[in-house]
Amino acid sequence: MLHNRSLIVVSVLLLSLTGRLASDEPKKVKEEPEDIARKALAALKENKLEDFAKEMHPSALKQLKTILLSVFDAAAEEGQEKAILALFSGARTVDEVKKLDDEKFFVSFLRGVIGLKPELKNAFSSAKGEVLGHVMEGEDTAHVVYRMTMSVSGATITKMDVMTLKKTDSGWRMMLSGEIDGLAQVLKQKFDGKK
Bridge partners, residue 134, by sequence? 144
Q: Provide the pLDDT for residue 8.
A: 43
More confident residue, 18 or 77: 77
pLDDT digits (tens, 9 = 90+) for 32-83: 999 999 999 999 999 999 999 999 999 999 999 998 888 888 888 888 888 8
More confident call, 105 vs 67: 105
Average pLDDT, rounded, for the chain? 82
| pLDDT of 138 above 70 | yes
**pLDDT score of 91:** 85
Beta pairing class for 171-174 and 155-168: antiparallel
pLDDT recorded at residue 29: 55
Residue 11 predicted with pLDDT over 50: no
Higher-pLDDT residue of 170, 189: 170
170-174: long-range pairs with CB below 8 Å, 24+: 171/30, 171/31, 171/36, 172/31, 172/32, 172/33, 172/35, 172/36, 172/142, 173/36, 173/55, 173/56, 173/57, 173/58, 173/60, 174/36, 174/37, 174/40, 174/55, 174/56, 174/57, 174/60
Q: Say if residues 40 and 52 touch (Cβ distance below 8 Å).
A: yes
Q: E strands, the chain, where?
A: 128-137, 141-152, 155-168, 171-174
More confident site: 163 or 1: 163
Inter-CA distances, 177 with 22, 56, 65, 142, Å: 41, 10, 14, 13
Query: If pLDDT is split at 50, 70 and 90, which confidence band does 129 have?
Result: very high
C-alpha distance from residue 8 to each of 3, 14, 21, 96, 150 (Å):
9, 10, 20, 68, 66
Does pLDDT of 24 surpass 80? Answer: no
Q: What pTM value is reported for the model? A: 0.76
